[in-house]
Every structure is written in structure tokens, then in C-alpha cells.
Chains A and B, each alone.
Chain A
Amino acid sequence: MNVLDWFLAPFQYTFMRTAALAGVLVSLTCASLGAYVVLRRMAFIGDALAHTVLPGLVIAYLNRWNMTVGAILAGIATALGIGWLSRRREVREDTAIGILFTGMFALGILLMSSVRSFRDFTHMLFGYIVGVTDAQLRLFALIALVVLVVLILLHKELELTSFDPTHAQVIGLRADRLRDVLLVLMALAVVGAIQAVGVVLTSALLIVPAAAAAMLTRRLVPMMALASAIAIVATLVGLLASYHLDVSSGATIVLTCIVCFLTAWVLRALRERLSRTWPVSGD
């Protein structure tokens, strides 16, 4: 089998084409938001959001409601809950999030274990991107559109509150409200990511491509674009690897992201060594 076949042959199947398209949409959404997640040190919140969605998924499943809608509602409720908790000072924010997220996740597992069939729940935990339906695909496209449009429209405000909340407040911007907006966008992004890589690995799609991009650029917008490109490539390569090796796609997608991160890390180290050996004149 030649290299081109390795890449193209799997896509003669409709389910692979749908999976690839879903992967691209989810990657684009998660990675562009991921830049803020990494820069604002919200990685833990991203992980928590993914886990707290589980009871929403299970409750929707048990009642035969639309599971994606259940996930979105649970995600938004959590996002606003975290926003509310972080404005209060009785408990440290990371402790509060830790309590909320493990509690919700435990509730999800409890509900899951009350049902006999575990097949669908395994997909929730570890992802099942080749099982994406056309309706889900349309929803992921809508989520990607909403997230990107909000990121573009609120770009200068999100950027400013991320690095200088004091100036933002002086000129009349509410940094906490903009944080709530980011949290809701993250909740939306997480719902797609759960389908692709599962609850357990979702935060990888938010964090790893953006962290890799942060190694290579010192500008926000290029960082978002690069993170999206890395995530798309990693998702497609991971999907193909999973097809050829017949292993879990969630695992191969996340591991490919990690390989990208390590590559970026090595590139940065090499670049720093080079600039030390031959410094640019005038610097």
C-alpha cells in the first residue's frame, strides 16, 4: 500500500468522511478557544467542564431526549456555576471547581451504572467520532460558527481582559462578564470534543494544540490560527491511524496532538539555540 492510499483510501467510506468533517469542525472550535484557555490558565476549568457534562448526557439518554442538547445545557449550567463560584471568596476557585466537577462526574457515573447497556456510555467516556450522525454534524458546524463569530466580534475585549483586567475595568469593561462568555463558548466547544475524543480526553483538544502553538509564536491571532491548523492535522492523522490500526480514535487523536506538541517544543529549543549561536545583528 503506498502512502497516498494510506491517506485517501479510508475516505471512500461515508462514515469516514463524516468523521473527518466533524473532526475538522471540532478541532477548529476547540483550538481557537484553546489559545485563551492556555493564556488565561483555565486548563483545569476546561477539564472540569468536560466532566460535568456527563450527567447531562446520561439524563438525556435515559429520557430519550437529544443527547447533544442535554450536554449543551449541562455545559452552560456548569459554565455559569463556575463563573458564580469564582466571584465568591468562601472557597478557593480551584477547590470549588474540583468539588463541582467530581461531584457532577460521580453523579453521571451513578446514573450510568443504573442502566445495563454500557456501549453508548463507553463512547461518551472515550469518544466515537466515526459514529457522528448528519444531525450532529450540522450542530457542530453551528457551534463552530457561533464560537468563531463571537471570538471575532469580541476579539479586542477578550484580548484586553486576558492580559490587563485593571485597564479593562477602568474603561468600563466587566472582565467577569467576558469570562462568563468564554466559559459558555468553552461549554459549547466541549460538547463537540466529547463526541470526538470522549469526556476523559476532551481537555487535550482545548489545551495541547494551543500549547504547541504558543511554543512557536508570540502573537495571539497567529497562535489561534496555528493551534487550529495543528488540531486539524492531528485529528485527521489520528483518525486515519485509528482506522488502519483498528484502535480507539480518541486515543490516537490525542496522542497525535501530543506528538505535535513535542515537535513544537523541539523546534523552539532548536530556534533558541540557533539564535544564541548566531544572534541577529542589532539585537
Chain B
Amino acid sequence: MRFCLPYGGSRSEQPPTNAPALAAHGVTVRYPGAARAALEGLDWVAPCGARVALVGPNGAGKSTLLKAIAGLLPVAAGSLLVFGAPVGAFRHRVAYLAQRGELDWHFPISVRRLVLTGRYPHLGWLRWPTRADWRRADEALERLQLLDLAERQIGELSGGQQQRALLARALAQEADLLLLDEPLNAVDAATREVVSAVLRDLQRQGRTVIVATHDLDRLQADFDDALFLMDGRVVARGVSAVGERVHHELLGNHRVAVAA
């Protein structure tokens, strides 16, 4: 057996078969010290291979839900199962793309090495990346059209290129569940194209993708399920229902604006 000291203690290799990517029952999440729950009583099952959009105004609970699935926020009540096991059991199978601001982009590290950190959950303590790990990183860089920029310091990239680098890291991790927090926020058209294409690839490979997004034009084209969140609760489900709800909200705001 290969030497392995996984991060975060034990590590389960195989998820139970037939378990959905995500199963939430009455999930409530509260930020530490906050009185009000940021997400309340969520019931939701996402099958493996689904592409799900989380839609809603700022502060609706989209990021909160992603963080809870990633294990960054504790679940205060209810049960949240990832591939049939509690959060944290399959860390290497879950990739989380935070909003760009959560990284120190001035840190002296190359784009290639940033992407390589996606391999770390497979390595664990005391093991160095092997040639195969570097190759995975390069393949991911190539898929996101970043190979030319691989030796740049990460702060030298544009916003869209940084977003692509983070997605490349998730590909290098070979995660089965990808959590993306507004990946298309303020990025260039080229990045949008590449990211959409990669998301389609991922679905073809049977991976599950959950995306918090404000980009509503592509809802029908890019996703097969959607949740509309408001004040920590789901108010609409399904791509068409969410689309209608969005339309309704926009009209409502418009009317308010006209009235004012």
C-alpha cells in the first residue's frame, strides 16, 4: 500500500453507490455569533451529474450553502450528506471555488503551482507532488487555455485568468462535486466561453456542479436544475420556475423604480 497520511484524519476512498451527490434535510446554517440563520430548513437532493444554479439577491444564502457543503461552515440543524456521508468524509472529492477576493494574489507563487495545490488532498502530509501530479496540473492549465501563463506570478493574471486558474485547480483535483461561487462575476467574454465549455465537459464526465450565479441569460442553456433563494429560504425550484421568478422580481423592481 502506498504511504498516505491524509489531511483531516481519516479518508474514505469510495462513496456508497447510488448515493446522490448531495442530500440536504432541514439544513440550517448560522454564521458564528450571528443570531439569525443565513440558511434555514433546506430540503434538497442533487443527483450525481446534475448542473445546478443557485440564484437570488445578495445575502440570500447562496454562498452560505456552498460553504456549508464545502465544510467551511458548520451545519446548525438538519443533515447534510455529500455522496451519502457527512461533510468532510470525501474532502478530495469536493472542490470549492471561493470568490476571487479570498486569495492573497500577491503571494510569490506561479500559476502552475497554484493549480498543483489541487493535487494536495490526494497527497496528504509529507508526500511531494509526483511527475504525474505536475502533468495533471498542466493538463488542467491547457484545458483552461492558461499554459502560456503557467510560470507567471498569480497576481500578474487578469481577473478572468485568475478565475480560470481556480477552475483549473478544481480540474486538477479531479473532484466529483464542484462548488463555484459566482465564477462569472466580472470576467471577460473569453473566460465565459471557456468556463461554460468546461462545465459542459464536467457534466459529460458525470461530475456534479453547483454554481452560485447572477448570470441569468444562460440559465436555460447551462443548467438542468436551479434553486431561487431569498432570506435563507428556497422560494422557487427548477430552471423554468426560477426563470419566471427572476422575471417577476425584475419586473417588480422595475415597477418600484418607476413608482419612485
Give the B-binding residues of A (Cβ under 8 A). Answer: 39, 89, 153, 156-157, 159-160, 162-164, 166-167, 169-174, 214, 217-220, 223
Comparing B90-98, B191-199, B206-214, B245-253, the segment that makes contact with chain A is: B90-98
Tell me the residues in window 100-131 of chain B with beta carbons closer than 8 Å to chain A beta carbons: 102-104, 107-110, 114, 117, 120-121, 123, 125-126, 128-129
* B72 contacts A166, C-beta separation under 8 Å: yes
* A220 contacts B72, C-beta separation under 8 Å: no
How far apart sit A89 and B70, CA to CA, in the bound complex (Å)? 24
* A170 contacts B96, C-beta separation under 8 Å: yes
How far apart sit A192 and B186, CA to CA, in the bound complex (Å)? 49
* B70 contacts A160, C-beta separation under 8 Å: no
A-B contact pairs, 9 of them (CB 8 A): A164-B103, A167-B169, A170-B71, A170-B72, A171-B8, A171-B91, A172-B9, A173-B7, A173-B8
Q: Which of B96, B103, B108, B121 contacts A172 (CB 8 A)?
A: B121
How far apart sit A51 and B91, CA to CA, in the bound complex (Å)? 41
* A39 contacts B71, C-beta separation under 8 Å: no
* B108 contacts A223, C-beta separation under 8 Å: yes
* B71 contacts A169, C-beta separation under 8 Å: yes
Q: Which of B72, B110, B128, B169 contacts A169 (CB 8 A)?
A: B72
Q: DSSP majority for the A interface?
A: helix
How far apart sit A169 and B103, CA to CA, in the bound complex (Å)? 13
B203 within 8 A of A: no
Q: Which of A156, A170, A219 contacts B94 (CB 8 A)?
A: A170
* A162 contacts B107, C-beta separation under 8 Å: yes
Q: Which of A153, A167, A218 contacts B153 (CB 8 A)?
A: A218
Q: Write the nearest CB–CB distance from B136 to chain A, whole angstroms.
A: 15
How far apart sit A65 and B123, CA to CA, in the bound complex (Å)? 44
* Nearest CB in chain B to that of A217: its residue: B108
Q: Which of A157, A171, A214, A218 contacts B92 (CB 8 A)?
A: A171
Give per-residue flags for B65-105: 1 if the beta carbon is below 8 A from chain A beta carbons, else 0: 00000111000000000000000100110111010001110
Q: Write the nearest CB–CB distance from B2 to chain A, whole angstroms.
A: 17
B41 within 8 A of A: no
- The 5 A-B residue pairs with the shortest CB-CB distance, nearest first, are A172-B8, A163-B107, A172-B7, A171-B121, A218-B153
B6 within 8 A of A: yes
* B102 contacts A170, C-beta separation under 8 Å: no
* A219 contacts B6, C-beta separation under 8 Å: no
* A219 contacts B109, C-beta separation under 8 Å: yes
With A163-B104, A170-B72, A172-B121 given, name 17 new contacts (CB 8 A): A39-B104, A39-B108, A153-B126, A156-B117, A156-B128, A162-B104, A164-B114, A166-B98, A166-B103, A169-B72, A170-B70, A170-B94, A170-B95, A172-B8, A172-B91, A218-B153, A220-B107
* A219 contacts B108, C-beta separation under 8 Å: yes
Tell me the residues in window 124-169 of chain B with beta carbons closer than 8 Å to chain A beta carbons: 125-126, 128-129, 153, 169
Q: Which of A39, A167, A169 contacts B107 (CB 8 A)?
A: A39
* Nearest CB in chain B to that of A156: its residue: B120
Q: Write the nearest CB–CB distance from B140 to chain A, whole angstroms.
A: 15
How far apart sit A166 and B33, CA to CA, in the bound complex (Å)? 20
CB neighbours of A160 from chain B (8 A): 117, 120
How far apart sit A157 and B127, CA to CA, in the bound complex (Å)? 11
CB neighbours of B126 from chain A (8 A): 153
Q: Which of A157, A167, A174, A220 contacts B109 (CB 8 A)?
A: A220
CB neighbours of A170 from chain B (8 A): 70-72, 91, 94-96
A159-B109, A160-B117 in contact; A166/B102 too (CB < 8 A)? Answer: yes
* A220 contacts B121, C-beta separation under 8 Å: no
How far apart sit A223 and B110, CA to CA, in the bound complex (Å)? 13
How far apart sit A156 and B78, CA to CA, in the bound complex (Å)? 36
CB neighbours of B92 from chain A (8 A): 171
Q: Write the nearest CB–CB distance from A154 to chain B, whole angstroms.
A: 8
